[in-house]
């Protein structure tokens, strides 16, 4: 383990040359990792050999987290991030060959929630991008990777509409797919609806909401959703690692439902907070009273 200022990576690494990198971001609650179990699925499909098995990786990961705990305030948590590339890139006819040991990067980072905090009180503005998601025939969204250019370009388009908007990306058929780093849920007549995982990332946060909904006896439907379904929904929210559940009260300039955060969204967020022993909304809102997240 080294300090950030001492960390080195070759300019010829596959992470730099080809974006040939699997990634995983894990949320920490009360300084403990939440659902750190998806990384090796992506490694298997991409045929990247990290050089150790899942148990060894877990031990190394927890060592990194332990080394950084002293920098965290009691009320704060952090990201725990893995980036694993195929190693050194050597120009040749076959880029699929792993010619060196994998480059394994694990780090923690302060969980800065300032950009999302106020949305727990008033909801965000969800806006559809002009660009479409990469189709699953080209790259399965369940392989979490560092090739994020398509998402960034889509988010640039969204910010042209509203600098504070949160993006919704459609697939090539016009169905709702995902956010740049998360999933989308709509609630209509009491039923929780979300896109199928065939055209969106099968997020850990998405799965958690589905599990909580089952426990709360909230009807669930994974379906092909069109923008019409979001315009006419009673409630709308995003899920993602840092903020868990982010309510949306406006979609493409129109109010969602009555324009206020809905009761089912609040119920799911409260259930998640109870599950992890952290008031998720309060943790984010507390950061508004500090100039920086300084651990």
Q: What is the CATH number for 130? A: 3.20.10.10
In terms of domains, do 91 and 134 share one?
A: no
CATH number at residue 101: 3.30.470.10
The owner of tokens 């740049």 is 180
- Whole-number pLDDT of residue 295: 44
Strands 220-223 and 191-195: parallel
Helix (H) / strand (E) containing 191 = strand 191-195
| Residue-level pLDDT at 294 | 47
Residue 89 C-alpha from the chain's centroid: 28
Measured CA to CA, the distance from residue 290 to residue 59 in angstroms comes to 33
What local confidence, expressed as pLDDT, does residue 93 receive? 67
Q: Is residue 250 part of a domain?
A: yes
Q: Which domain holds residue 201?
A: 116-284
For residue 16, with 0-12 CB atoms within 10 Å meaning exposed, 13-18 middle and 19 or more buried, which class applies?
A: middle
Find all residues with CB under 8 Å of 200, minimum gap 6, and list them: 133, 141, 177, 178, 183, 184
292 falls within a domain: no
What total number of domains does the chain contain? Answer: 2
Question: Tens digit of pLDDT for each residue in 41-92?
Answer: 999 999 999 999 999 999 999 999 998 888 877 778 888 999 999 999 887 7
Asked whether residue 246 falls in the same domain as residue 277, the answer is yes
Q: Establish if 162 belongs to a structural domain.
A: yes
Ranges of the chain whose pLDDT falls below 70: 93, 291-295
pTM for the whole structure: 0.91
Question: In Å, how far from its chain's centre is CA 36?
Answer: 13
> Is residue 131 a part of any domain in this protein?
yes
Q: What is the pLDDT of residue 289?
A: 80
Residues 244 and 126 in one domain: yes
């Amino acid at each position: 383990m080294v300090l950030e200022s001492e960390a080195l990576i070759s300019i010829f690494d596959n992470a730099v040359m080809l974006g040939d990198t699997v990634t995983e971001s894990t949320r920490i609650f009360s300084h403990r990792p939440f659902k750190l179990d998806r990384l090796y699925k992506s490694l298997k499909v991409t045929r990247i050999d990290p050089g150790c098995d899942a148990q060894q990786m877990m031990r190394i990961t927890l060592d990194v987290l332990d080394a950084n705990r002293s920098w965290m305030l009691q009320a704060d948590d952090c990201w725990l991030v893995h980036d694993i590339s195929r190693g050194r890139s050597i120009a040749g006819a076959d880029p699929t060959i792993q010619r060196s040991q994998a480059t394994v990067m694990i780090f923690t980072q302060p969980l800065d929630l300032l950009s999302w905090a106020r949305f727990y009180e008033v909801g965000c503005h969800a806006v559809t991008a002009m660009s479409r998601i990469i189709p699953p025939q080209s790259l399965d969204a369940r392989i979490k990777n560092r090739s994020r250019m398509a998402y960034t370009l889509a988010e640039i388009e969204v910010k042209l509409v509203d600098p504070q908007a949160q993006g919704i990306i459609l697939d090539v058929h016009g169905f709702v797919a995902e956010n740049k780093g998360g999933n989308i849920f709509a609630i209509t007549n009491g039923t929780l609806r979300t896109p199928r995982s065939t055209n969106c990332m099968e997020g850990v946060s998405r799965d958690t909401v589905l599990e909580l909904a089952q426990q709360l006896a909230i009807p669930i439907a994974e379906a092909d959703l069109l923008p019409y379904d979001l315009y006419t929904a009673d409630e709308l929210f995003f899920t993602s690692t840092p903020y868990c559940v982010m309510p949306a009260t406006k979609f493409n300039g129109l109010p969602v439902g009555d324009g206020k955060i809905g009761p089912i969204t609040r119920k799911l967020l409260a259930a998640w907070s109870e599950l992890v022993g952290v008031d998720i909304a309060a943790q984010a809102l507390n950061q508004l009273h500090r100039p920086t997240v300084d651990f």
